[in-house]
Structure 1
Amino acid sequence: MQQKKKSKNKKSTPIKITAKHTIDYKQIDLLLSCLTEQGKIKPRKITEFTLKQQRQLSKAVKRARILSLLPFVTVTEK
């Protein structure tokens, strides 16, 4: 029997975040790229963010929605 070796390749994140740079509610372009057409936040598998980045993203989206920088629901016309 052959044993499978576990690869220890770390996924690279689409954005590099250091201690000074975090995901903020003012970064509307970044937030819009992480939303679906209906206005939902994309899952971590699709965005490839780390757990910490995904938490920052969800908080930033919620803050931007409250401040009316992002819509709560995107209306699609038929």
Structure 2
Amino acid sequence: MPKQNNVLTKPRDCHFCKSNVNHIDYKDTQTLRRFISSYSKIVPRKRSGVCAKHQRKLATAIKRARIMALLPFTTK
């Protein structure tokens, strides 16, 4: 019989909704680095605990910061 994972995870509150942020600034690299993995990939929504609306805005801000050379595309 396959093992079943019966662990229910509590949904986390969105960091940006709690602090009432409407605009995610691409120049705020300290905040954006929290949502990037060690391999410079954007952390998925389930792991970061961000709502869908802010995940889309976060991805856009990270991509803009990468193009402006504020964040790296990859790590060495």
TM-score (normalizing by structure 2): 0.76
Distance in 1 separating the partners of 2:67 and 2:12: 32
- Structure 2: which 5+ residue stretches go unaligned? 1-9
> Identity of aligned pairs, percent?
39
Q: What value does the CA root-mean-square deviation take over the aligned residues? A: 1.9
Alignment: residue pair count: 66
- Structure 1: which 5+ residue stretches go unaligned? 1-8
Segments of 4+ moved more than 6 angstroms? none
TM-score (normalizing by structure 1): 0.74
Q: Does the 8 Å contact 2:11/2:49 carry over to 1?
A: no
More helix by share: 2
The aligned residue for residue 5 of structure 1 is: none
- Asked which structure has the greater CA Rg, the reply is 1
